[in-house]
With several copies, the nearest count.
Chain A
Amino acid sequence: MTLKILYFARLKESFGRAEEDFDFEGGTVAELTAALAARGGAWAEELAPGRVFRVAVNQELAPPSTPLAAGDEVAIFPPVTGG
Protein backbone atom coordinates (compact mmCIF):
# COMPACT_ATOMS: atom_id res chain seq x y z
CA MET A 1 0.00 0.00 0.00
CA THR A 2 1.08 3.59 -0.50
CA LEU A 3 1.41 6.16 2.28
CA LYS A 4 2.00 9.86 1.98
CA ILE A 5 4.77 10.81 4.37
CA LEU A 6 5.57 14.38 5.45
CA TYR A 7 8.70 15.55 7.26
CA PHE A 8 9.13 18.75 9.23
CA ALA A 9 11.83 20.91 10.78
CA ARG A 10 15.17 19.18 11.42
CA LEU A 11 13.98 15.88 9.92
CA LYS A 12 12.96 17.59 6.69
CA GLU A 13 16.50 18.96 6.40
CA SER A 14 18.20 15.71 7.44
CA PHE A 15 16.24 13.70 4.89
CA GLY A 16 16.45 16.35 2.18
CA ARG A 17 12.74 16.17 1.46
CA ALA A 18 9.46 17.60 2.75
CA GLU A 19 7.32 14.70 1.60
CA GLU A 20 7.26 11.46 -0.35
CA ASP A 21 4.97 8.61 -1.33
CA PHE A 22 6.17 5.41 0.30
CA ASP A 23 5.28 1.83 -0.57
CA PHE A 24 4.72 0.00 2.69
CA GLU A 25 3.77 -3.63 3.21
CA GLY A 26 1.40 -2.59 6.00
CA GLY A 27 1.66 -2.55 9.77
CA THR A 28 2.05 -0.06 12.58
CA VAL A 29 3.75 3.31 12.94
CA ALA A 30 6.67 1.53 14.62
CA GLU A 31 7.01 -0.81 11.66
CA LEU A 32 6.93 2.11 9.24
CA THR A 33 9.68 4.01 11.02
CA ALA A 34 11.75 0.81 11.20
CA ALA A 35 11.33 0.40 7.44
CA LEU A 36 12.45 3.98 6.89
CA ALA A 37 15.42 3.56 9.25
CA ALA A 38 16.50 0.55 7.19
CA ARG A 39 17.40 3.00 4.40
CA GLY A 40 20.54 3.75 6.42
CA GLY A 41 22.40 7.07 6.64
CA ALA A 42 20.37 9.97 8.05
CA TRP A 43 17.31 7.71 8.18
CA ALA A 44 19.03 5.18 10.40
CA GLU A 45 20.44 7.92 12.57
CA GLU A 46 17.33 10.06 13.06
CA LEU A 47 14.89 7.16 13.46
CA ALA A 48 17.08 4.89 15.58
CA PRO A 49 15.52 3.32 18.67
CA GLY A 50 16.01 5.74 21.53
CA ARG A 51 15.92 8.85 19.33
CA VAL A 52 13.00 11.09 20.18
CA PHE A 53 10.66 11.92 17.31
CA ARG A 54 6.90 12.25 16.94
CA VAL A 55 4.50 10.75 14.43
CA ALA A 56 1.08 12.06 13.41
CA VAL A 57 -1.34 9.94 11.40
CA ASN A 58 -3.95 11.89 9.48
CA GLN A 59 -2.93 14.99 11.44
CA GLU A 60 -3.30 13.50 14.91
CA LEU A 61 -0.42 12.49 17.18
CA ALA A 62 -0.16 8.71 17.08
CA PRO A 63 1.73 6.26 19.31
CA PRO A 64 4.05 3.63 17.75
CA SER A 65 1.38 0.94 18.00
CA THR A 66 -1.02 2.81 15.69
CA PRO A 67 -2.01 0.65 12.65
CA LEU A 68 -1.66 2.30 9.23
CA ALA A 69 -4.02 2.06 6.27
CA ALA A 70 -3.55 2.78 2.60
CA GLY A 71 -3.75 6.50 1.85
CA ASP A 72 -2.92 7.59 5.37
CA GLU A 73 -1.07 10.88 5.72
CA VAL A 74 1.83 10.18 8.08
CA ALA A 75 3.98 13.00 9.40
CA ILE A 76 7.29 12.47 11.19
CA PHE A 77 8.87 15.34 13.07
CA PRO A 78 10.99 16.33 16.08
CA PRO A 79 9.35 17.22 19.41
CA VAL A 80 7.53 20.50 18.93
CA THR A 81 8.94 23.82 20.14
CA GLY A 82 6.24 26.42 19.54
CA GLY A 83 4.71 28.83 21.99
Chain B
Amino acid sequence: MERFTVAVQTAPFDAGAELARLSADPAVGALVSFTGQVRDYGDSDGVVALELEHYPGMTEKALAAIVDDARARWPLSAATVIHRVGRLALGDAIVLVVVAAGHRRDAFAAAEYLMDYLKTRAPFWKKEIGHDGSARWVEAKASDEAAADRWAGEEA
Protein backbone atom coordinates (compact mmCIF):
# COMPACT_ATOMS: atom_id res chain seq x y z
CA MET B 1 0.00 0.00 0.00
CA GLU B 2 1.15 3.51 -0.80
CA ARG B 3 1.10 5.04 2.66
CA PHE B 4 1.23 8.74 1.75
CA THR B 5 -0.86 9.85 -1.19
CA VAL B 6 -2.39 13.00 -2.65
CA ALA B 7 -4.94 13.28 -5.45
CA VAL B 8 -6.74 16.01 -7.36
CA GLN B 9 -9.83 14.71 -9.10
CA THR B 10 -13.30 15.56 -10.35
CA ALA B 11 -14.76 12.24 -9.16
CA PRO B 12 -16.31 11.81 -5.72
CA PHE B 13 -14.29 10.01 -3.06
CA ASP B 14 -15.25 7.37 -0.51
CA ALA B 15 -14.14 8.51 2.95
CA GLY B 16 -15.02 5.15 4.49
CA ALA B 17 -12.89 3.29 1.96
CA GLU B 18 -9.92 5.58 2.61
CA LEU B 19 -10.30 5.12 6.36
CA ALA B 20 -10.40 1.35 5.90
CA ARG B 21 -7.34 1.43 3.63
CA LEU B 22 -5.25 3.48 6.06
CA SER B 23 -6.35 1.44 9.09
CA ALA B 24 -4.81 -1.74 7.70
CA ASP B 25 -1.48 -1.39 9.51
CA PRO B 26 -0.89 -3.01 12.90
CA ALA B 27 1.04 0.06 14.14
CA VAL B 28 -1.99 2.31 13.69
CA GLY B 29 -3.85 3.11 16.87
CA ALA B 30 -5.58 6.33 15.77
CA LEU B 31 -7.19 7.58 12.57
CA VAL B 32 -8.50 11.09 12.08
CA SER B 33 -10.44 12.18 9.02
CA PHE B 34 -11.57 15.58 7.88
CA THR B 35 -14.19 16.02 5.16
CA GLY B 36 -15.10 19.42 3.80
CA GLN B 37 -18.35 19.78 1.88
CA VAL B 38 -20.32 22.51 0.12
CA ARG B 39 -22.61 24.16 2.64
CA ASP B 40 -26.02 25.54 1.71
CA TYR B 41 -24.77 29.06 2.17
CA GLY B 42 -21.46 30.54 1.19
CA ASP B 43 -20.29 34.10 1.57
CA SER B 44 -23.35 35.27 -0.33
CA ASP B 45 -26.95 34.17 -0.71
CA GLY B 46 -28.54 31.98 -3.34
CA VAL B 47 -25.46 29.86 -4.04
CA VAL B 48 -26.35 26.59 -5.76
CA ALA B 49 -22.88 25.27 -6.63
CA LEU B 50 -19.17 25.90 -6.50
CA GLU B 51 -16.66 25.80 -9.32
CA LEU B 52 -13.23 24.71 -8.14
CA GLU B 53 -10.30 25.89 -10.28
CA HIS B 54 -6.74 24.73 -9.68
CA TYR B 55 -3.20 24.98 -11.05
CA PRO B 56 -2.49 21.56 -12.57
CA GLY B 57 0.99 20.37 -11.75
CA MET B 58 1.59 22.77 -8.91
CA THR B 59 -1.44 21.51 -6.98
CA GLU B 60 -0.13 17.99 -6.60
CA LYS B 61 3.35 19.27 -5.69
CA ALA B 62 1.93 21.64 -3.10
CA LEU B 63 -0.19 18.91 -1.51
CA ALA B 64 2.75 16.50 -1.43
CA ALA B 65 4.92 19.19 0.18
CA ILE B 66 2.30 19.83 2.86
CA VAL B 67 2.15 16.10 3.60
CA ASP B 68 5.95 15.98 3.82
CA ASP B 69 5.89 18.88 6.28
CA ALA B 70 3.40 17.03 8.46
CA ARG B 71 5.50 13.85 8.38
CA ALA B 72 8.50 15.85 9.53
CA ARG B 73 6.56 17.15 12.54
CA TRP B 74 4.67 14.08 13.76
CA PRO B 75 5.27 10.31 13.62
CA LEU B 76 2.61 9.25 11.11
CA SER B 77 1.86 5.82 9.69
CA ALA B 78 -0.09 7.02 6.66
CA ALA B 79 -1.92 10.02 5.26
CA THR B 80 -4.06 10.81 2.26
CA VAL B 81 -5.31 14.09 0.84
CA ILE B 82 -7.96 14.12 -1.90
CA HIS B 83 -9.22 17.44 -3.30
CA ARG B 84 -11.94 17.67 -5.90
CA VAL B 85 -12.09 20.23 -8.71
CA GLY B 86 -14.74 21.24 -11.22
CA ARG B 87 -18.39 21.90 -10.45
CA LEU B 88 -19.68 20.78 -7.04
CA ALA B 89 -23.29 21.04 -5.90
CA LEU B 90 -24.60 21.81 -2.42
CA GLY B 91 -23.79 18.94 -0.09
CA ASP B 92 -21.02 17.57 -2.32
CA ALA B 93 -17.75 16.70 -0.62
CA ILE B 94 -14.81 18.93 -1.59
CA VAL B 95 -11.80 17.66 0.30
CA LEU B 96 -10.78 14.64 2.36
CA VAL B 97 -7.80 14.36 4.70
CA VAL B 98 -7.13 11.12 6.56
CA VAL B 99 -4.19 10.65 8.92
CA ALA B 100 -3.20 7.38 10.62
CA ALA B 101 -0.76 7.38 13.53
CA GLY B 102 0.16 5.42 16.61
CA HIS B 103 -1.34 8.01 18.94
CA ARG B 104 -4.39 10.23 18.79
CA ARG B 105 -2.72 13.54 19.59
CA ASP B 106 -0.40 13.15 16.59
CA ALA B 107 -3.26 12.15 14.28
CA PHE B 108 -5.44 15.09 15.33
CA ALA B 109 -2.63 17.62 15.12
CA ALA B 110 -1.42 16.42 11.72
CA ALA B 111 -4.92 16.39 10.22
CA GLU B 112 -5.63 19.92 11.38
CA TYR B 113 -2.20 21.06 10.19
CA LEU B 114 -2.79 19.53 6.75
CA MET B 115 -6.10 21.37 6.42
CA ASP B 116 -4.70 24.69 7.66
CA TYR B 117 -1.84 24.59 5.17
CA LEU B 118 -3.95 23.25 2.33
CA LYS B 119 -6.27 26.24 2.80
CA THR B 120 -3.42 28.75 2.50
CA ARG B 121 -0.80 27.04 0.29
CA ALA B 122 -2.50 24.77 -2.23
CA PRO B 123 -3.54 26.50 -5.47
CA PHE B 124 -7.30 26.01 -5.50
CA TRP B 125 -9.85 28.77 -6.03
CA LYS B 126 -13.58 28.62 -5.37
CA LYS B 127 -16.21 30.41 -7.41
CA GLU B 128 -19.77 30.56 -6.10
CA ILE B 129 -22.49 29.99 -8.69
CA GLY B 130 -25.80 31.66 -7.87
CA HIS B 131 -29.26 30.34 -8.68
CA ASP B 132 -29.49 33.03 -11.38
CA GLY B 133 -26.26 31.85 -13.01
CA SER B 134 -24.18 34.65 -11.52
CA ALA B 135 -20.62 33.82 -10.49
CA ARG B 136 -18.47 35.30 -7.75
CA TRP B 137 -14.94 34.41 -6.66
CA VAL B 138 -14.71 33.53 -2.99
CA GLU B 139 -12.36 35.82 -1.06
CA ALA B 140 -9.61 34.33 1.09
CA LYS B 141 -10.27 34.55 4.81
CA ALA B 142 -7.87 36.18 7.24
CA SER B 143 -8.90 33.47 9.72
CA ASP B 144 -7.39 30.83 7.44
CA GLU B 145 -4.05 32.66 7.33
CA ALA B 146 -4.15 32.98 11.10
CA ALA B 147 -4.91 29.26 11.45
CA ALA B 148 -1.86 28.33 9.37
CA ASP B 149 0.37 30.89 11.09
CA ARG B 150 -0.28 29.43 14.53
CA TRP B 151 1.80 26.36 13.62
CA ALA B 152 4.82 28.43 12.63
CA GLY B 153 6.25 29.10 16.07
CA GLU B 154 5.24 25.83 17.65
CA GLU B 155 7.16 22.66 18.20
CA ALA B 156 5.17 19.54 17.41
Size band of the interface chain A makes with B: 10 to 19
A-B contact pairs, 22 of them (CB 8 A): A6-B55, A8-B123, A9-B125, A10-B137, A59-B55, A59-B61, A60-B61, A61-B62, A75-B123, A77-B125, A78-B137, A79-B139, A79-B140, A80-B125, A81-B124, A81-B141, A82-B94, A82-B124, A82-B125, A83-B95, A83-B122, A83-B124
Whether B119 contacts A83 by the Cβ 8 Å rule is: yes
In the complex, whether B57 has a CB less than 8 A from a CB of chain A is yes
**In the bound complex, CA of A56 to CA of B65 (Å):** 14
- A-facing mask of B76-112, CB < 8 A → 1, else 0? 0000000100000000001100000000100000000
What's the nearest-Cβ distance from chain A to residue B139, in Å? 7
Interface residue ranges, B against A (CB under 8 Å): 36, 52-55, 57-58, 61-62, 83, 94-95, 104, 115, 118-127, 137-141, 144-145
**B140 contacts which chain A residues (CB < 8 A)?**
52, 78-81
